[in-house]
Amino acid sequence: MLRRTRPAPRLARTAPRGRGAAALLLAGTAFLAGTAFLAGAAGPALAGKANDTLVYASDSEPENVSPYHNSAREGVILARNAWDTLLYRDPATGTYQPMLATAWTWADPVTLDLTIREGVVFHNGDPLTPEDVAFTFNYVLTPEARTVTKQNVDWMKSTEVLGPHTVRIHLKAPFPAALEYLAGPTPIFPAAYFKKVGLDGFAKAPVGTGPYRIVSVESGRGVKLERFEKYWSGSPIGRPKIGKLEFRVIPDADSRMAELVTGGIDWIWRVPSDQADQLRAAPGITVLSAETMRVGFLQFDVGGRAMEKSPLRDVRVRRAISYAIDRKAMVDNLVRGGARVMNVLCFSGQFGCVEEGAPRYAYDPAKAKALLKEAGYPDGFEIDLAAYRERDYAEAVIGYLRAVGIRARLNYLRYAAFRDALRGGKVSIGFQTWGSFSVNDVSAFTGVYFRGGDEDLTRDPAVIAALQAGDTASDPGERKAKYAEALSRIAGEAYALPMFSYPSNYAFTQDLNFTAQPDEVPRFYAASWK
């Protein structure tokens, strides 16, 4: 509040007029303009073709650059560029090719022998040996390693060095998807270096054998990489064409877009549909929309832990919800960009993701209402729905539920809080998404949510048994049959409602040749300047 005080007329008359007043009033603007002028052009941008530096940005950083010690997608990108794996899966054909292992044979369903390539060196100059492979896997299995991505390695029991070029992996149980895991989230560490510097030292100065070597890691700022000139020849991923990579953390989506438009960065992803439309109109920018392996789904508190007398314990209510949501309309109008409706709880490209035999829930609000009435909820009920990303999708779901009488309240949480609540049995309906760690096998999806683990809200012994059989059978036909059994039971009981695959919108400078893959792993080593 301004206080009224007596004016000071004499002084006002004698105070500087005109010139002085204008000067003072414009002081702020002058300062602004002055600093801006002094700054001049913002100097040469570090990004771009001219500097042979591909700068890419994302909204968050991995907590630790070590690939076994973060579960962030940004960490996966770094891992794929700085570390090699034993096998390589060709994204075009899906076949496995030799990488750090030149050959592999199953001695029996729980014993896998691999021949380790000669002539590969780590970024610090150490040669790759079977000891490095054995050390890496044995280390990440220990509790002291505090591996974050446990589900990617805990199918292994131990690894031993068999000879000068051979290692043997002992499995806990038959696990046919092993090759898929060895071709993805299981990079190899340099044993001697890691033992010397420990995890803390490794996180600050990581070393791999990958096509790029990490030059610097700055918490909160990003990571700089450059082409590893001694990268082994003959690698299926080839020698990178771009000399330097730089990963930057820019939390705000609008700022990322502005950086891209001004040439401060070259590549962004997860661009929301509306921003993608704007960027399509911007000069010098290419926008690419591609489907990913990420699937959105509603998870139901079937056990009734979150809510006493939960309506969700009744299969008719769960089916009613499944009929109430127009997933097709959501894909067409909201999600867009190459997304598809999913009918079983996995990504339809994954091995074992079998739709046959599973009931489908086409949009039918009348049927949903009838089912609710039958279940004893003619006027619907109130319930909580928790979500952690794409708030607009969650709100659309709430709208559809409201139309059949279910009044859902949105609990929008950060992922860590969401997961804690879900695991703690405090979530009635969870709007989940899962990208399967880019593993192209259904075990990476159903295993997390239906094999009796912390995030299994169903704990159905029949589903658990079928999945266990599918995960461990060595015959591909038998595996498929077991997964079909589990997936159709999940759909029939409406334990969860698969929604749709997620698209990813990429936006990048027109100077760049870049191809996107459904596994949501941008392969910068394969990108090039035009």
Partner 1 sequence: MLRFALRRVLVALSVAVTVSVASFLLLHLSGDLATAIAGPDATGAQIEAIRTQYGLDRPLLAQFAAWAWKALHLDFGQSFYFREQVTDLIAARLPVTLILGVVALAVALFVAIPLGVLAAVRRDTWIDRAALFVSVLGQAMPTFWFGLALIIVFSVNLRWLPVSGNATWKHFVLPAVALGYYAMPAVMRLTRNGMLEVLSSDFVRTARAKGLPPRKILVRHALRNAVIPVIALAAVQFGFMLGGSIVVEAVFSLQGLGQLAWESIARNDFPVVQAIVLVLAMIYIALTLAADLLNALLDPRLRQ
- What's the CA gap between 144 and 147, in Å, rounded? 8
* Residue (of 393, 381, 441, 426) closest to 183 by Cα position: 441
Question: How many Cβ atoms sit within 10 Å of the Cβ of residue 152?
Answer: 20
**Closer by beta carbon to partner 1, 408 or else 427:** 427
Q: How many CA atoms lie within 13 A of 460 on its CB side?
A: 24
The residues in 416-445 that bind partner 1, with binding defined as CB under 8 A, are 416-417, 419-420, 423
Per DSSP, the three-state class of 237 is: coil
Q: How many CB atoms lie within 10 A of CB 266?
A: 27
Q: Which is nearer to partner 1, 5 or 93 (CB)?
A: 5
**Residue 60: phi, psi to the nearest 5?**
-145, 170
- DSSP label at 48? B
Q: Is residue 283 at the binding interface for partner 1, with CB under 8 A as the rule?
A: no
Helix (H, G, I), strand (E, B) or coil at 138: helix
Asked if 284 and 94 touch (Cβ cutoff 8 Å), the reply is no
If binding is defined by CB under 8 A, does position 24 make contact with partner 1? yes
Residue 172 corresponds to which tokens in the numbers above? 């806990």
Q: Which of 44, 119, 220, 477 binds partner 1 (CB under 8 A)?
A: 220
- We find the least distance from the C-beta atom of residue 155 to partner 1, in angstroms, to be 15
Q: Give one DSSP letter per residue of 304-340, joined into a string.
A: --SSTT-GGGSHHHHHHHHHH--HHHHIIIII-TT--
Report the nearest approach of partner 1 to the CB of residue 33 (Å): 9
Q: What are phi and psi of 213, to 5 degrees?
A: -105, 145
Query: Binding pattern to partner 1, positions 114-143, x when CB under 8 A?
Result: -----------------------------x
Task: Name the percent of the chain in helix, strand, coil, to the closest 5.
Answer: 35, 25, 40
Tokens of 249: 């953390």
Tell me: does residue 280 bind partner 1 (CB under 8 A). no
- Using the rule CB under 8 A, is 281 a contact of partner 1? no
Min dist. Cβ of residue 278 to partner 1 (A): 12
Among 173, 258, 362, 462, binds partner 1 (CB under 8 A): 258
Short-list 206, 302, 241, 246, CA closest to 58? 246
Q: How far is the CB of 1 from partner 1 (least distance, A)?
A: 9
Give the separation between CA 86 and CA 406, rounded to whole angstroms: 50
* Site pattern 378..417 for partner 1 (x: CB under 8 A): ------------------------------------x-xx
Is residue 5 a contact residue for partner 1 (CB under 8 A)?
Answer: yes
What are 245's strand-pairing partners? 54, 225
What residues contact 199, with CB distance under 8 A and at least 6 apart?
A: 64, 66, 69, 145
> What single-letter DSSP state applies at residue 244?
E
Closest residue by Cα to residue 294 from 470, 431, 178, 486: 431
CA distance 68 to 84: 13
Q: Which of 176, 264, 311, 338 binds partner 1 (CB under 8 A)?
A: 264
Query: Which 449-468 positions form the footprint of partner 1 (CB under 8 A)?
Result: 454
- Min dist CB 322 to partner 1, Å, is 29
Work out whether 3 is an interface residue with partner 1 (CB under 8 A): yes
Applying CB under 8 A, the span of 90-98, 255-263, 321-329, 433-441 interacting with partner 1 comes to 255-263
Q: What is the DSSP letter of 11?
A: H
Alpha carbon separation from 529 to 32, 207, 242, 257 (Å, rounded): 37, 27, 7, 20
State the Cα angle at 503 between 497 and 508, rounded to 5°: 160
- Residue closer to partner 1 (CB basis): 37 or 92: 37
Q: How far apart are CA 242 and CA 228, in angstroms?
A: 11
In angstroms, give the least distance from the CB of 141 to partner 1: 12
Q: Judged by CB under 8 A, does residue 50 bind partner 1?
A: no
Q: How many residues bind partner 1 (CB under 8 A)?
A: 58
Using rule CB under 8 A, residue 32 touches partner 1 = yes
Give the chain's length. 530
Does 92 bind partner 1 (CB under 8 A)? Our answer is: no
94 versus 453: smaller Cβ distance to partner 1:
453
Q: Of 1-9, 228-236, 344-352, 482-490, which segment contacts partner 1 by CB under 8 A? A: 1-9
Which of 36, 92 has the CB closer to partner 1?
A: 36
Judged by CB under 8 A, the stretch of 164-172, 246-254, 321-329, 468-476 that binds partner 1 is 246-254
Beta carbon of residue 282, minimum distance to partner 1 (angstroms, whole number): 10
Q: Which is nearer to partner 1, 11 or 92 (CB)?
A: 11
Name which position in 203, 279, 491, 499 contacts partner 1 (CB under 8 A).
Answer: 203
Which residue, among 492, 467, 494, has the nearest Cα to 482 in the 3D structure? 467
Give the x/- contact pattern for partner 1 in 476-505, rule: CB under 8 A: ------------------------------
Q: Counting contacts by CB under 8 A, is residue 259 touching partner 1?
A: yes
CB of residue 326 vs partner 1: minimum separation in angstroms?
33
Residues 146-175 contacting partner 1, CB under 8 A: 146, 148, 150
Residues engaged in binding partner 1 (CB under 8 A): 2-3, 5-8, 10-12, 14-16, 21, 24-25, 27-28, 31-32, 35-37, 39-43, 63-64, 143, 146, 148, 150, 199-200, 203, 219-221, 248-252, 254-255, 258-259, 261-262, 264, 414, 416-417, 419-420, 423, 454
